[in-house]
Amino acid sequence: MTSNPQQQPGASFNPFLRLPRELRDEIYKCVLHTPGLSPASLTEPYKFPSLNLSILRVNKQISAEASEIFYGTTVLPIRISRSDAPSKDGDTIHYISQETPWDILCYRYRGKDGNLYSPNNTVMFSYQNEFIHPDDAFPATAYGNRFRKIRIEISDHRKLLDVQKAGFTTMKLLLLAVDRLASLISTADRDERLTLEICAFSRVFDKDPDFKEDLGSISDKTIYNELVKMYRERVYKELVETIWPLTKGPWEYTIHAPEALKTEFPGLLEETLGMCDGVANKEKNPRMEGGWKEPTTGWDVWLGWGKGLRYVGGGAKEIDSMNEDDL
């Protein structure tokens, strides 16, 4: 029997490698198949299918071949969500979360001008004790830059009348989330340019939404319809402003906005992105002072990893004031 050129002297040879490469690739596709992602929706929670990646640990050659299939065909979903809640003193608390297969980052601040605060309390987050992903069911963060297909879901859970209260601090917080994202999926050693598929959706644009709770009892249908259109435009602009920080990352991007909105408000997407660029150019440092990778004293950042949340940012002042149970 002739020796196989792929077999190293003294090394065990896997019979699987005797199959033609084309057949091996088809087997990799079957073994590493993941169901297609469901359409982005407010009612669908963020989730990533469980995977069996044991084939990547068979040997070096099989791992290299199977990795080409896995990272080239698997769509990596990432969700950025926005929501608001009233505080006891009447201010609005703004929440931004970024969910990836590896972690959950949560940011919150209060007030229109973005006065950041930290109550040092994890119980208000629904993510506590949540399994993000078993370590053996998904590649480590170091492999994030190998994925070629990435879908960003922008999810806005705010009500119709809440969208005018946020201010520019929201975009600054989102830039922080983008920097974190870049460190996961677009590191300096990435071998090819990345293109993000950005899908945006909002509670306000759900099918046949009912705005009576938000607008009250307006009997005049014409006035009601005009108010709805005005607020829909405002929500659309705010949704685009949420997308804007993602256009500043080290990647190409494609934005998928509802076709009905493009028809109803033609050119508004491009106009709003240009406006955000103009506002950012006037800021001395749109990413805020004190460094952007390390949260400053005012931040309240929690990191979900593995089986729960741990405190990441806020500086020594916040950490010193926490109970051991909070860490």
Report yes or no on 209 lying in a domain: yes
- How much is the average pLDDT of 35-40? 66
Cα distance between residue 91 and residue 112, in whole Å: 8
Strands 115-116 and 301-305: unpaired
Report yes or no on 36 lying in a domain: no
Report yes or no on 80 lying in a domain: yes
8 A C-beta contact, residue 198 and residue 256: yes
| Tally of structural domains, the chain | 1
pLDDT tens digits along 89-128? 777 777 778 888 777 777 776 655 444 433 333 323 333 3
Mean pLDDT of the chain: 70
Range with top average pLDDT, 122-126, 163-167, 281-285, 317-321: 281-285
Report yes or no on 219 lying in a domain: yes
Tokens of 249: 């990352």
Report yes or no on 27 lying in a domain: no
Report yes or no on 10 lying in a domain: no
Range of the domain at 154: 75-326
pLDDT at position 90, please? 72
- SS3 letters across the chain: CCCCCCCCCCCCCCHHHHCCHHHHHHHHHHHCCCCCCCCCCCCCCCCCCCCCCHHHHCCHHHHHHHHHHHHHHCEEEEEEEEEEEECCCCCEEEEEEEECCCCEEEEEEECCCCEECCCCCCCCCCCCCCCCCCHHHCCCHHHHHHCCEEEEEEEECCCHHHHHHCCCHHHHHHHHHHHHHHHHHCCCCCCCCCEEEEEEEEHHHCCCCCCHHHHCCCCCHHHHHHHHHHHHHHHHHHHHHHHHHHHHCCCEEEEECCHHHHHHCCCHHHHHHHHHHHHHHHCCCCCCCCCCCCCCCCCCEEEEECCEEEEEECHHHHHHCCCHHHC
Task: Work out the pLDDT band at 294, boundaries 50, 70, 90.
Answer: very low
Report yes or no on 161 lying in a domain: yes
Report yes or no on 49 lying in a domain: no
For the cut 80, the answer to whether the pLDDT of residue 262 exceeds it is yes
For the cut 90, the answer to whether the pLDDT of residue 223 exceeds it is no
